[in-house]
Every structure is written in C-alpha cells, then in structure tokens.
C-alpha cells in the first residue's frame, strides 16, 4: 500500500502563499480558515541568523492521534496512500481530534465537522497532484509515495538533509522539510 507524503524544499520556498490560495480555491475552504499556511522561522543571533520559510499543513502522520482518539471513526486512515481524512457524516464535532493534533492542523468547519488538509485526495484519485503542489511557482513542493524508493519524494529524502516538525510529539509526520 502506498504511503503518501511530501518533501518541501525550504531553500526554494519564498513564502508567496500561492499554495494557500490554491488550497482555499480548490477546496472551498471557508472564510477565516486555512488548511495550509506559511510559517517563517528566524533562529540564531544577529549576524548569524537563519531564516526558514515553510508551507505547512496536516502532516498525515503515520501514528495519528487524531484518528485514535476519534470516538466515531469519522477520522480515519484512507486506503489510498494512508491519507488521514475526516468523514463529515460521521463526525459529531466533539473536537477531540482538534485537541489531539500537536500541529494545530485541524479546525471546526462552520458546518460543524472537523476539517483539514486532505492531500487533495479527489485530485490524486484522478492522477493529479494536490493543488498546492501543482501551483507552486518555485516548484519547491514534491508529493509522492514514501514507500516507493524511486518516487520523487524518496529520492529527494535520500539525497538531501531534511527534518520534520515536532518529532518528539511522536506522531511520525510525513511532511519533510528539505534544508
């Protein structure tokens, strides 16, 4: 079974927010909410500071607490690519999954159910790339099967230095940031 993930090149990313706009348009994300966002992190002490710009979203974790805490099974791991999804018709809006995500990746849709990035599964099923990946003008985002050693993401991860967010939280995130 495939295991979809992303490798995002922080060296190329300029924080233009095209991915954010593409996601909002593609998925009709309601006003005031975002499924993906840009984080700018500056570390170090002047003059040796370091800037990292990241396009962030749900990490589609391998060990997702949002799925294991869901009392109705609305949050689930999809057969295609082990993508973490929410079935709105099963969700009671208890917000347990929102509390359980260390990344703040989920929110409650104005219609009452938990919502978040789906890796644009509706596009991926048709052989297309997620909207954010497809639209990125610097081509810094790469999407594919982490279990396929020949995939774009796997070869990049094999050849480039990378990190994930909050590794100590133990959720085994599948969005990798190339540095």
Partner 1 sequence: MQELTITRHNALIDPLLSIWSWQIPVYLFLGGLVAGIMIISGYFVLQGQYKKNVFSCFYLPHIALVLLSGGMGALFLDLEHKLYFWRLFTTFQVTAPMSWGSWLLMIVYPALWVNTLIRIPERYQGKVPIFDRWSAALNARPVLIKNIGIANMLLGTLLGMYTGVLLSSFGARPLWNSAMLWMLFLVSGLSAAAAFVHLITTDEYERELLAKADNAFLTLELFVFGGFITGLLTNSRVHKDAVHLLLDGPFAPYFWVLVIGMGVLLPLAIQLLAVNHKIKHTALAPLLVLAGGLALRFVIVFAGQFSRWS
Does 11 help bind partner 1 (rule: CB under 8 A)? no
54-73 residues in contact with partner 1 (CB under 8 A) are 56, 65, 68-73
* Rounded-to-integer distance, Cα 67 and Cα 30, Å: 23
Q: Which positions touch ligand SF4 (CB under 6 A)?
A: 58-61, 64-66, 69-72, 74-75, 84, 86, 91-97, 101, 103, 105-106, 113-114, 116, 171
Select 25 or 39, whichever has its Cβ closest to partner 1: 39
Contacts of 165 (CB under 8 A, 6+ apart): 56, 59, 103, 173, 175, 177
Backbone angles phi, psi at 46, to 5 degrees: -55, 135
The one of ligand SF4, partner 1, none whose footprint includes residue 134, by CB under 5 to 8 A per kind, is none
47 upstream amide cis, omega within 30 of 0: yes
The one of partner 1, ligand SF4, none whose footprint includes residue 34, by CB under 5 to 8 A per kind, is partner 1
Backbone angles phi, psi at 124, to 5 degrees: -60, -35
**Sign of the torsion angle spanned by Cα atoms 171, 120, 74, 38:** positive
Residues forming contacts to partner 1 in the complex (CB under 8 A) are: 17, 20, 32-34, 37-45, 49, 56, 65, 68-74, 88-96, 98-102, 104, 106-108, 111-113, 166, 168-170
């Amino acid at each position: 079974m495939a295991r979809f993930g992303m490798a995002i090149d922080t060296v190329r990313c300029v924080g233009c927010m095209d991915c954010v706009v593409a996601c909002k348009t593609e998925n009709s994300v309601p006003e005031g909410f975002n499924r993906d966002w840009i984080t700018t992190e500056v570390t170090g002490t002047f003059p040796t500071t370091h800037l990292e710009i990241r396009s962030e979203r749900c990490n589609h974790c391998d060990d997702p607490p949002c799925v294991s805490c869901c009392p109705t099974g609305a949050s689930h791991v999809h057969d295609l690519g082990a993508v973490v999804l929410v079935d709105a018709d099963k969700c009671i809006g208890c917000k347990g999954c929102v509390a359980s995500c260390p990344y703040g990746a989920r929110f409650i849709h104005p219609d009452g159910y938990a919502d978040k990035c789906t890796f644009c599964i509706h596009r991926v099923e048709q052989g297309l790339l997620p909207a954010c990946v497809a639209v990125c003008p610097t081509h810094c985002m790469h999407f594919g099967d982490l279990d396929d050693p020949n995939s774009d993401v796997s070869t990049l991860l094999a050849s480039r230095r990378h990190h994930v967010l909050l590794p100590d939280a133990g959720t085994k995130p599948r969005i990798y940031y190339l540095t």
